[in-house]
Structure 1
Amino acid sequence: MNNKFSLSLVCSALLLAGCGDNTESSGASTEQPYNNQAINEMLSRSSNIDFTLQGEDASVPLPSFLLLDTSDSTLNIPVGYGDSQGLDNPQVAMGEADGWSSQMPFVIDLNLPSGVSLLNDLAPASSARSAVPFSLNLNTGVRVAKVTVDLATREMSNFEALTAGEDFLVVPSEDLRSFNIVPLKGLEPGSDYIYALTDSIKDSNGEPLGTSSSYAILKTDEIIQSGTLAAPQKIIQNVEKAFADNGQVTSTDDIIYSSWFTTSSAGQVLLGTKAAIAQTALPNVAPSNIWNGSVANPNGIDAATLDALYQVTVTSKTSFADAVASDAMFISEFGQQSADLLQGGYNLNFANEAIASIQVVKGTIKLPYFLSDSLEGDAWKKTPWRSAMPSVFKILSVLSSGTEDDKAAVGQQLAVLGLTNLPADLYLQDKLKALIGQTLTLADGTRLDSDRIMTKYSAVPQIRAVKDVPFLMFVPEGAAISANLPILQYQHGITSIKESAYAFAMQHIGGAMQGEAPFKPYAIIAIDQPLHGQRALSYGNDDEVVTDTDNPTVYMNLEYLPVARDNIRQSAIDGLGVRYALNGANDAAFANLDAENVSLFGHSIGAITGISSYAIANTPVSALEGNLFKYTSATLANAGGGIAPFLLNSGSFSPVIKHTIAVKAVPGYASYYERTCGSKDDGVCITKFLGDPNDESANPAEGSASDIAKVNATLASFTFAAQTVLDNVDPYNIAPLVNQTGAPVLGLQAENDSTIPNSVSGAPTAGTEPLFSKLELVNTATDTQGQKLASYFLATTDAEHSTVIAPQSDTDGNANTEMTSQIVQFTLTAGNATSSIAVTDALLDATK
């Protein structure tokens, strides 16, 4: 909600401290000591937790339930006076998340006297993965647990303690004046966690840390709070009780600070979207029955257009040689020489097309577009997905704690929709279909949910357009080609285009034609990612909104983070849509293809979006969907989790991202940029400004120490906010959904990938290797059995980020050949189900 960010911290969703008549809410006075001497002792200490409920110095360690909007379960981050109230402000953007990041650290600031720090007991890093020194002082003083919280009573159950050094690591700042609690394996999405800090944590004088007066107000049971602090007090006391009851502390007197928080959901909006799409498979349900009315269909798309969704139209079919020679998109992106080389290679290898050929089929697929495509006011960039249904959480909030008039008004409207057994009906998926396209109002006529934020409680998006999305398909034909061919669906990387499939199609299809005829290779189909290639938005002249090598941030959209997240959602749903559309493709070009044997191949961002397509497609939402969405297997090449941290550490994208953020947020850098960088690349400019702290003599910083510190602090804050917003589409969080399906996965990694890093120091869930670990993939260099495999290509092979698409140099040809061979084998064996793939061990790293 936009208006909530105009409130001060103390007036946010739960605190409201000092905003009413509660004189006990300030937490500023310790004149009257508590009867509990442990609390008095904590308050007397000079070093303590920075937790203050009101005033200019108001501060809450993150994450916390105190910064949650209790009406819709989204985050509620206060915004500074004069700051933007729009989604271009990362703090406001965080309000689009239905929980805290499961990957970002807990940030604990301290109030320490001058000259005092945390006790310095740092020992060398405990493992290569943590890559940070270990503090026994901190790690023995922090408790973290997963719990179940009854939102009505705030009681906590199902206590599962996490282990320091295994599940999380407590890491001090460089100056030892604050610390982070870093989840080493990520937390479970959509789950409740509690944490506590104990007074065993000492400062550099050997004195225990104390608490703040604000926390003491919530901790004590001597003064029972009413009004706005009643709920926070009850929650804090339940958190402390949970740790004490489960033997994590000797008594609650040990605890100097604690909190509860909920992690963001993962994949629930995509599953809700799929559930809406899946209804159209029913005989008497059309898309216009689902996206009906001005709420679900705000642009008034007519019923005939809606009901044409997922129709496939073929516009041309030509030989590969003729197609590549005349494909303007391919030639524009890759050059005439590349087209000539591919044409020559095809003519050599497929000289007799009557025996075997590759036919290039082009056409369009009608897909739903849930983003804005309007250029007016840059709406395409500023407008995230919006829900076609009111938030179930908001409905439940009204029914449980609204006024009697509001309860009656909402209840009557729900009854008209067939939801009469309340609140039970609101927990039944079949019943919730009735809410799509509906507007509920309170007793005074105001809308119950005017924000329409997409959360797990409002998971069906408004449709804004039906797009004729161009597709490109490579179909093997000829006397030597068998019947009923499998299909490989390709999702390309960021700044690339679907026509990159020309570079590998012939190699894949030819690689499948080994031994004796008849051969059974697979067809390959691809579309552009949103805002790429032929899906650029045009102003009607030569100006386009398009993601390419010069403009990677069009799709990344660093300025409006919820739209960046929803670009990924749109990509994932587009992939799902292509898979679904194949079932009804009745043109002759599809006659020899098996729509029930479709595999997925995603590269880079195509693998990042592809893992969501794969997980959602293979997770049933209806007993009637059968195999209409299901994929047989997936190859994920150079994917990565922890999107925000890996982007800030990407050799390809980090410089431009850092520049884009810093030039708007740090005046010192903006001035430097204006003075000195007129002819410099933006990425070069920020790199020179920051210098290389690991090699200052060769690359000294041109910025001042204070400005560099501001840039680094800004980047850290941005990373936290960005990952919080992106968390529910992050591959690391989607991976458990894939694991639940048991679906086959082949992962491919190039060592020292400069685009998506293999791993990121200090961010244990970021990069390719943590994702493959989360997917439980087995190294093919040691075991080629099973259907969850990963191949880690050695640096000595010269494999690069895009080697899997085509050789990138004169020396990575062997790696390209091996990658292609593994994809072909994995795809043709239904994900290693019918045999084990053969690999070349010498090219692979067996130590991963």
Structure 2
Amino acid sequence: MKKLLLPLAVASALAGCGGGETLEDVKNETPTVVPQSTVVFDPGAGEISVPNDLLLSGTTDGTLNIPGEGDDYTNPQLALGALDGWSTQMPYAIDFDFSPGVSLDATSAATPGNVRIFEVVMGADQSSQTCAQVPAGIACEYVKELNFGVDFITQASGNSVAVVPLKPFTQGRSYITVLTNGLTDSAGNAIAPSSTYASVSSEDPLVTEQQLSLQAVINSYEDVIVGGSDLSKDDIIYSAAMTMQSAGEVLGTIKSLLAASLTQDSLPKPEMMIPQQPALTVGQVFAAQGMQDINPAFNAVSYEKGSIVLPYYLKSPQGKELSDLNNTYWQANCDSAVTVLGYKEQAGEAFPEQPVSENDAICAALSGGQLRDLSLDDKRHLTKYNTIPKVQSYRNIPVQVTKPADLMTLNAIRSQLGLDAMSMPAAGWPVVIMQHGITSRKEDMLALTAALSIQGFATVAIDHPAHGERGIDVDNDGTDDFNATTGSVLAYMNLNSLLVARDNLRQSAADLLGLRLGLNFANDPMLNTMDVGFVGHSLGAVVAPAFLSMTNAELDPQVDPLFKVNTVALGSGGGGIANFLLASDSFGPFIQGSVLAGAGTDESAAFGAFLQEGAVSSCAQFLDNQEAYVGCGYQAFLAQLTAQGDTASLANIQGLLTQFTYAAQTLLDAGDPTNYAMRVNAQQTPVYTSVVVGDGMENKPDTVIPPMVESNPIAGTIPLAMMMGADNAAQTQLADSPQSYLVRFSKGHHGTLLTPAANPQAGASAADSAAANAEMQQQVATYLKSKGTILPITNEDVIAQ
């Protein structure tokens, strides 16, 4: 989203400033000088480039004030009003106004020093004794300047300067972006501030209360920057603060509540139950599914079904249409602390110090009195000011369990591999939690159980929400109405309501926290629940960093071992979810087509008509698959526009997608692995990551989650692995202490960790896929067994050098 066009006057956007006049008064009451080239900044006319903390002004609950925001959060731009800040990882743009024939000088846009970013502390920040007493929205303290070329770069993007992060901004922190007069236009003239910005950045007092309030905000930005850097006020042509949204506080609260269940009877304790059942092997499960040529090793692995009761924070849909899922996102259990504080100041002695209800007492007790349930906050958005989610229900979730069983067979295989014979350790088999990918199911992870059993591991696995045995049956008729495994992927990755997509991701992470804790109470002496690893594939690898960063966070010395995960192996995951989904060969065309179809523009109407008529001939084979048909039709529609030379429509579509990507990624941020990866690194959790980068010829890079994303250098599989501390490995690694590694495969495809099958669409042959599958599984099992000290690379023919 290059620019958020505000349809309302700034009096609405800046409700906290007071007064009823708009910034048009600023321009009317001061001399107007219109430079040839200026920065766009005219809140009174509804033009503010985002991110911009002016949209936090006047908040009553700590969330962004988005003009036009109501109760419908399906519009991605309006849904930003549910957040307590901006995206930590999205590139953003600041726009300019140019005279006809004049444009931005691209060299000046990319020159270090012309755009600078500073970390600051804003007013009302309780982490600073000085700033805690300063009004919110006022810049208070200088922290540091970010480094050009290390933390970010800038470049021209049409008539805008784009800021591209090379590292994610820190969640919850505030930054000020400053443009200097080193920026020039194509005529060689320095770009100037807008007349509005020049007025409110002046130190000469303005007239109205509203003008004075905005002037105080802009002056605070410039004063803090000038006081901490080598810039003078004359150098600055624009400044804007942006506070990054929180990520992790809500999941951290969930972990704390799970831990509290160990001592508080009022909180249900998660306990994994494994009832007595007929003996089965994984090989028999495969045979029952109709599989043939089953590896004998699977017949040496036992298979059991268990269950665990876990809290579920997603609301239940009331109907069977996809639109009925749109309002099922998480909600807070209490009123926001910001709302409570505002009411307390207003009510004075009338404020109820004692709880008025059972839930009010719970809110107060769990928050030290900062949260209450006084029916003040009807939105109940989860933010850093309101971190306790409401439990909508408790779900009995099926658990899949495997263990090494036929040790004679397994030891014969170990002997062939040059490994010593094994027996079950006295403490039981170490356990690997496995998590499957999107549209998959827990049973698909059984493909790893032979390799893991050969190394002496038991495994447990559950389905993601709205997958497999956890589909949603609205009317309890025995048939799932929503299931991403057997039906639409939108049952989980909800494009119609991205807050729901975000909270499905968070529910997956919360479920894993509950499963990890519940393992300790399985009462199965064959499971060593004090020695636990993790394997995630695709979506399982995407949600892994959020889970890992929370489960391995220090909470209490007596509780921490019950959550500990020692070593991790991830395959084909990635960060920057909105970015990689739109760049995905598999999902991108469908998502882009869906965005265009629902945009309500002229191009949207033309695309709708094309789907009804023009696409039928070229996409007829997909008529029975709506998602595939939309994706195919979208690609055919773009091809038609290109052939017609309709560059205007193509540009409008690209602009629409840019806006959607910015809003979508911002909405998904709290569930995105990029915001948790550095915590995993700081906790020194050893993580192995595999990624298919292709061979530069027939075998393509991963076509589902791209290794890298052109539009965002911190999105994709490789940047995520690097943020978790991985080193590239192309040969066998032997280390004295646990290390994190990234292995790039030249052969295979997105699903190769689990299947040796070919993938013609990815250009992966049967022979190459089988070789890569064997190599991946051996690497995963050995890495986990050695707790991150050994990474064998035995077939360099499938490794990218």
| Partners of 1:467 and 1:604 in 2: CA distance | 24
Contact 1:368 1:463 in 2 (8 A): yes
User: In the alignment, which of 780, 786, 791 is matched to residue 729 of structure 2?
Assistant: 780
Cα gap change, 1:217/1:784 in structure 2, threshold over 3 Å: closer, same or farther?
Answer: farther
Counterpart in the other structure of 1:629: 563
Counterpart in the other structure of 2:145: 161
| Partners of 1:86 and 1:272 in 2: CA distance | 27
For the pair 1:318 / 2:279, whether they are aligned, the reply is yes
Counterpart in the other structure of 1:672: 610
| Partners of 1:502 and 1:229 in 2: CA distance | 64
For the pair 1:463 / 2:391, whether they are aligned, the reply is yes
| Partners of 1:350 and 1:711 in 2: CA distance | 50
For the pair 1:371 / 2:319, whether they are aligned, the reply is no
One-letter amino acid of the counterpart of residue 362, structure 1: K
| Partners of 1:703 and 1:502 in 2: CA distance | 51
User: In the alignment, which of 643, 664, 667 is matched to residue 725 of structure 1?
Assistant: 667
User: In the alignment, which of 760, 767, 791 is matched to residue 837 of structure 1?
Assistant: 791
Residues 764-775 of structure 1: matches in 2 within 5 Å?
A: 764-775=713-724
Counterpart in the other structure of 1:641: 575
For the pair 1:361 / 2:292, whether they are aligned, the reply is no
Matched residue SS, 2:305: strand
Contact 2:442 2:468 in 1 (8 A): yes
Counterpart in the other structure of 1:92: 78
| Partners of 2:315 and 2:433 in 1: CA distance | 26
| Partners of 2:660 and 2:176 in 1: CA distance | 24
| Partners of 2:631 and 2:710 in 1: CA distance | 21
TM-superposed deviation, 1:641: 0.8
User: In the alignment, which of 270, 273, 288 is matched to residue 251 of structure 2?
Assistant: 270
Matched residue SS, 1:556: coil
TM-superposed deviation, 1:107: 1.9
RMSD over aligned Cα atoms: 3.0
> Deviation digits for residues 697-719 of structure 1, max 9, x if unmatched?
xxx55794333222211111110
Residues 680-691 of structure 1: matches in 2 within 5 Å?
A: 680=622, 681-691=629-639
| Partners of 2:482 and 2:615 in 1: CA distance | 25
| Partners of 1:464 and 1:418 in 2: CA distance | 14
TM-superposed deviation, 1:317: 4.3
Counterpart in the other structure of 2:405: 477
Contact 1:793 1:843 in 2 (8 A): no
| Partners of 2:282 and 2:668 in 1: CA distance | 42
| Partners of 2:757 and 2:468 in 1: CA distance | 21
TM-superposed deviation, 1:89: 0.6
One-letter amino acid of the counterpart of residue 90, structure 2: M
User: In the alignment, which of 14, 18, 38 is matched to residue 48 of structure 1?
Assistant: 38
TM-superposed deviation, 1:672: 1.7
Contact 1:663 1:673 in 2 (8 A): no
Counterpart in the other structure of 1:131: none
TM-superposed deviation, 1:475: 1.2
Matched residue SS, 2:543: helix
| Partners of 2:260 and 2:368 in 1: CA distance | 10
> Deviation digits for residues 476-502 of structure 1, max 9, x if unmatched?
135663131100110000010111022
For the pair 1:408 / 2:408, whether they are aligned, the reply is no
Contact 2:314 2:329 in 1 (8 A): yes
User: In the alignment, which of 447, 460, 473 is matched to residue 525 of structure 1?
Assistant: 460
One-letter amino acid of the counterpart of residue 140, structure 1: G
Counterpart in the other structure of 1:117: 103
Cα gap change, 1:161/1:73 in structure 2, threshold over 3 Å: closer, same or farther?
Answer: same
Counterpart in the other structure of 1:196: 178
One-letter amino acid of the counterpart of residue 71, structure 1: T
TM-superposed deviation, 1:776: 1.4
For structure 1, which runs of at least 5 residues remain unmatched after alignment? 34-39, 122-134, 291-306, 352-356, 421-425, 441-446, 513-520
> Deviation digits for residues 768-802 of structure 1, max 9, x if unmatched?
1111111111123365434332232332xx22111
| Partners of 1:309 and 1:380 in 2: CA distance | 27
Instruction: Select between 135-144 and 598-607 the one with higher mean Cα deviation.
Output: 135-144
> Deviation digits for residues 514-546 of structure 1, max 9, x if unmatched?
xxxxxxx01111111111111111252656311
| Partners of 2:404 and 2:458 in 1: CA distance | 6
Cα gap change, 1:321/1:583 in structure 2, threshold over 3 Å: closer, same or farther?
Answer: closer
| Partners of 1:408 and 1:451 in 2: CA distance | 26
Contact 2:261 2:269 in 1 (8 A): no
State the TM-score, normalizing by the size of structure 1.
0.81
| Partners of 2:756 and 2:644 in 1: CA distance | 38
Cα gap change, 1:9/1:280 in structure 2, threshold over 3 Å: closer, same or farther?
Answer: farther
> Deviation digits for residues 572-605 of structure 1, max 9, x if unmatched?
011111111111112xxx3211011111111111
TM-superposed deviation, 1:196: 1.0
One-letter amino acid of the counterpart of residue 787, structure 1: P
Counterpart in the other structure of 1:606: 540
TM-superposed deviation, 1:232: 3.0
For the pair 1:106 / 2:47, whether they are aligned, the reply is no
Contact 1:102 1:264 in 2 (8 A): yes
Contact 1:691 1:701 in 2 (8 A): yes
User: In the alignment, which of 808, 811, 817 is matched to residue 774 of structure 2?
Assistant: 817
> Deviation digits for residues 205-255 of structure 1, max 9, x if unmatched?
111112223212320121156534444322211211222222342x20221
TM-superposed deviation, 1:177: 1.5
| Partners of 2:442 and 2:245 in 1: CA distance | 32
TM-superposed deviation, 1:414: 7.1
Cα gap change, 1:746/1:137 in structure 2, threshold over 3 Å: closer, same or farther?
Answer: closer
Counterpart in the other structure of 2:530: 596
Aligned residues between the structures: 733
| Partners of 1:474 and 1:383 in 2: CA distance | 34
User: In the alignment, which of 423, 431, 435 is matched to residue 491 of structure 1?
Assistant: 435
TM-superposed deviation, 1:72: 2.3
Cα gap change, 1:735/1:843 in structure 2, threshold over 3 Å: closer, same or farther?
Answer: farther
One-letter amino acid of the counterpart of residue 736, structure 1: M
For the pair 1:27 / 2:26, whether they are aligned, the reply is yes
For the pair 1:578 / 2:519, whether they are aligned, the reply is no
Counterpart in the other structure of 1:392: 337
Cα gap change, 1:233/1:533 in structure 2, threshold over 3 Å: closer, same or farther?
Answer: same
> Deviation digits for residues 137-184 of structure 1, max 9, x if unmatched?
6543211111122324234324211122332111212xx322211112
Counterpart in the other structure of 2:115: 142
Contact 1:74 1:98 in 2 (8 A): yes
Counterpart in the other structure of 1:68: 56
| Partners of 1:659 and 1:717 in 2: CA distance | 14
